[in-house]
Amino acid sequence: MLRKPFIITFILCLFISLAFSGCKTSEQSTITQTKIIETESEVTVTDFVVFGDLNGNGKDDTAAIIVSDENHYYLDVSENKPPNQDHITKDFLGIEIEIKNISIIEGEISLVMVINNIEVTFIYKLEDNRLIRIE
């Protein structure tokens, strides 16, 4: 079993490498992370990773779509507190959905996805370390 400091360091390195590669990667990284999913479950950080200030502190935070080994999709948010990324919260999005786009604009996360063959856009805001869907 991997130790938590190793996992946190791995995630931080992953986010930093994504930042320098334009927030996109053609490979997916598989990690074991009990902070993201309460039960020990293998999760995959997808290509959908974006950076922007979500809490008003002037530093880029991270919003990422992660997928569990059971095909459960989550929106995961981490705060940038150099030299670490601190996990803040996550929100369950659904099972076997299709993510089209994610962006951070003026402190809000815009997420476009397909659920039951219908394209929907959700807007999230971070309030008191919780993701609130406002639209």
pTM for the model stands at 0.68
Judge residue 22's burial from the number of C-beta atoms within 10 Å of its C-beta, 0-12 exposed, 13-18 middle, 19 or more buried: exposed
* 21-70 residue pLDDT tens: 333 333 333 333 333 444 456 888 899 999 999 988 888 999 999 998 88
- The pLDDT, as a whole number, for residue 66 is 93
- The pLDDT, as a whole number, for residue 57 is 86
Q: Which amino acid is at 97?
A: I
Q: Which amino acid is at 16?
A: I
Query: Parallel, antiparallel, or unpaired: how do β-strands 108-115 and 84-95 relate?
Result: unpaired
Which tokens belong to 9?
A: 């360091």
- The pLDDT, as a whole number, for residue 87 is 80
* 101-124 residue pLDDT tens: 999 999 999 999 999 999 999 999
Question: What torsion, rounded to 10 degrees, do the Cα atoms 11, 78, 110, 50 define?
Answer: -40
pLDDT-derived band at 129, boundaries 50, 70, 90: confident
Strand ranges (E), 17-117 = 29-32, 42-52, 61-68, 72-81, 84-95, 98-105, 108-115
